[in-house]
Amino acid sequence: MLKFSDNKLKEVKKIIDRYPQGKQKSALIPLLHMAQSEFGGWLSPESMDYIASLLTIDPIEVYEVATFYSMYNLQPVGKHVFEVCQTGPCMLNGSDNIINYIKTKLNIGVGETTEDGLFTLKTVECLGACGYAPMMQLGDHYREHLTKEKVDAIIEECRGKE
Amino acid sequence: MAKKVLLEKAHIKGIRAYDVYKAQGGYASVEKALKMDPAAIVEEVKKSGLRGRGGAGFPTGMKWSFLAKPEGVPRYLVCNADESEPGTFKDRYLMEFLPHLLIEGLIVSSFALGSNSTYIYIRGEYAWIVNILEQAIEEAKQHGYLGKNILNTGFDCEIYVQRGAGAYICGEETALIESLEGKRGNPRIKPPFPAIKGLWDCPTVVNNVETIAAVVPIINMGGEEYAKIGVGRSTGTKLLSACGNINKPGVYEIDMTISVEEFIFSDEYCGGIPNGKRLKACIPGGSSVPILPANLLLKTAKGETRYMNYESLSDGGFATGSMMGSGGFIVLDEDQCIVRHTMSLARFYRHESCGQCSPCREGTGWMEKILTKIENGKGQSSDIDLLWDIQRKIEGNTICPLGDAAAWPVAAAIRHFRDEFEWHVNNPSLCLTENYGLAHYADELSIVS
């Protein structure tokens, strides 16, 4: 059975304490972030049920939230997820070329994962980096002013971590 | 050089840390405000003429004065840091480089409104900024500006950072509140407004990051002095995030007296268009506001110079004007295709519609499909009228302004660039390889270099 570590459970308590008594459901979105990063980069039904039990809410209350927000992965993803912005300002600065380059380079389509399970390519809508376009999110950070060379370097960097 | 009251110290080395920020005069507004009567603080903000910097431009002091104060019921201040409007990245800059300015503004505003628990709702993708803000909160707490009995006034205040998880709609204040309560970001039907029934059904004020930061100079210099910056009802300074086809994309603080032309072409700001290209169009206030062709952008329909402020940008209404909006300034050069760009924005709004209201849920997807068809040389002339019809039926027919936000960009693109849409329809093969270019108004322009 899935379970957070004791340290993480302390963090859970700290988060719940931010809200008035009885309003622990407010911790749902932060806890889903935590579950996703602790339990393999995606939200399985099992991990969502676990969060429901921690917050003493119904599982359906978790599912309806998890399916609403785009940052939650409801299917397994690769170890490194390239989330490339494709909205207007990034498009004006060549995001289409970057997306096509990644597709060719990794031999995957949008929404797909490489066979070795290392990379997933996603397109996303505006991430608030319009002045530094084109860009992608990789984990908790942004990679900006993307060029083909930069994409190559990022892929190598990820491979180097293996 | 325009007067700066928010970013003037952004470039000081180490300003992100408490010690440096404090040594530069930081937290003076807290010292001053906590000796004032909360109602007097609201009065100063009213006098300043400050208008909400998130996009709607509603007077902040008035919004504050609507807050209900029933006995024994907690009141909440929530800071809207869910910056998601395409073209907008000013709040990110402010939080990343001047986190203490936001915390300082939040303490003063919390005191003015009587909020003992204040929440910063930040878009989930700004994950690294959460750490920067929490660090600043911790430092402020260590120095007695947060926590129990702040500066021995008896005022208690905690600030918490709450991460969203990817949803543009959560920038709408009631959707934000729903999200903060751990639910889907479905906007609420108003009334009741948050000032009466907001977070956990308690009276709540939701303010944008830049709005809260502006409270600091307002308290320091006084509302009347602040109101002297700017022009008319566009008081104070405004942060603009400039992007698209310009030489110097970035965040700029302006005092709302400069012209649009100066903002685009001056080296102090955007620095002109790269590679000698000419200016085609611009969305001056975030993707939702109407796009303007170069001729109507630089001058109003009456031929007067257009300025970077609320009134001048909206001069002419939607027929020939636009809006200041969030300050997300998107510039398009002569090589850009209006149909393709509009299609990209339509996709954005389809993706971000929460799905509650049929006109928005169905209409945004329908508009995206038609625009994709036209862009790919498969459109018919009747599609342009159909698009116009759909956007009209979305506008004003939804619970929240996302419907309008999705309709306006399509409406403005057809209004000002109908010839380009027709060219796509009439040249189905050519439009796949060539761009329409600058169009009919180019010869009228004096500034196109």
Complex-level ipTM: 0.97
CB-CB neighbors (< 8 A) of A125 in chain B: 86, 168, 347-348, 351-352
**Res B2: pLDDT:** 64
**Which pLDDT score, from 0 to 100, does residue B447 have?**
43
In degrees rounded to 5, what are phi and psi of residue B415?
-60, -45
Measured between CA atoms, how close is B224 to chain A, in angstroms?
A: 33
B328 falls in which pLDDT band (50, 70, 90)?
Answer: very high
* pLDDT for position A162: 79
- Model pLDDT for residues B164-223, shown as the tens digit of each residue: 999 999 999 999 999 999 999 999 999 999 999 999 999 999 999 999 999 999 999 999
Number of A–B residue contacts, CB under 8 Å: 147
| Smallest CA–CA distance from B127 into chain A, residue | A140
Predicted confidence band at B446 (pLDDT cuts at 50, 70, 90)? very low
Residue B440 confidence class, pLDDT cut points 50, 70, 90: low
Binary contact (B87, A88; C-beta < 8 A): yes
Q: Is B375 in CB contact (< 8 Å) with chain A? A: no
Q: Please give the model's pTM, rounded to 2 decimal places.
A: 0.96
Which residues of chain A are within 8 Å of residue B283 when distances are taken between CB atoms?
A: 88
pLDDT above 90: residue B442: no
* Closest chain A CA to residue B177: A26
Would the CB atoms of B165 and A72 count as touching at under 8 Å? yes
- pLDDT lower than 70: segments of chain A: none
- pLDDT attached to residue B124: 97
Q: What is the pLDDT, as a whole number, of residue B441?
A: 57
Report, as an integer, the average pLDDT of B247-252. Answer: 97
Cβ neighbours around B149 below 10 Å, total: 10
Long-range CB pairs of A32-39 (<8 Å, 24+ gap) are A32/A62, A32/A65, A32/A66, A32/A72, A32/B165, A33/A71, A33/B124, A33/B163, A33/B165, A34/A4, A34/A8, A36/A72, A36/A73, A38/A4, A38/A5, A38/A8, A39/A2
pLDDT at A62: 98
Is the model's pLDDT at B260 over the cut of 90? yes
* B249 to A130: CB separation less than 8 angstroms, yes or no: yes
Using CB atoms within 10 A of its CB, is residue B448 exposed (0-12), middle (13-18) or buried (19+)?
middle
Please, what is the end-to-end C-alpha distance for chain B in angstroms? Answer: 23
Task: Return the CATH number of the domain spanning residue range A6-66.
Answer: 1.10.10
CB contact under 8 Å between B250 and A131, yes or no, is yes
| Portion of chain B with pLDDT greater than 70, in percent | 97
Q: How confident is the model at residue B90 (pLDDT cuts 50, 70, 90)?
A: very high
Domain ranges of chain A: 6-66, 80-160
Pick B344's closest partner by Cβ from A26, A87, A130: A87
Q: Compute the average pLDDT of residues B406-421.
A: 96
Nearest Cα residue in chain A from B246: A131
Enumerate residues 6+ apart whose C-beta is below 8 A from B149.
B155, B156
**Per-residue pLDDT averaged across B426-430, rounded?**
95
Residue contact B127–A140, C-beta within 8 A? yes
Mean pLDDT of B296-320: 95
Choose which CATH entry (3.40.30.10, 1.10.3720.10, 2.40.260.10, 3.40.190.10) describes domain A80-160.
Answer: 3.40.30.10
In chain B, the domains with their CATH numbers are 18-228 (3.40.50.11540), 234-332 (3.10.20.600), 338-437 (1.20.1440.230)
Mutate to test the interface with B, among A28, A70, A130, A141 (most CBs of B within 10 A): A130
- Is residue B425 within 8 A of residue B276, CB to CB? The reply is no
φ/ψ of B150, rounded to 5, equals: -60, 125
pLDDT in tens, B116-172: 999 999 999 999 999 999 999 999 999 999 999 999 999 999 999 999 999 999 999
**Quick check: A27 and B182 CB within 8 A?**
yes
Establish if B86 touches chain A: CB-CB under 8 angstroms: yes
Closest-CA residue in chain B for A137?
A: B125
On chain A, the residues whose CB falls within 8 A of the CB of B179 are 29
* B53 pLDDT above the threshold of 80: yes
Partner residue facing A71 (CB), from B124, B330, B345: B124
| The pLDDT of residue A93 | 95
Q: Testing the interface with A: which of B89, B133, B157 to mutate, by most A Cβ within 10 A? A: B89
Interface of A with B (CB under 8 A): 18, 20, 23, 25-30, 32-33, 55, 57, 61, 64-65, 68-72, 86-89, 91-93, 124-133, 137, 140-142
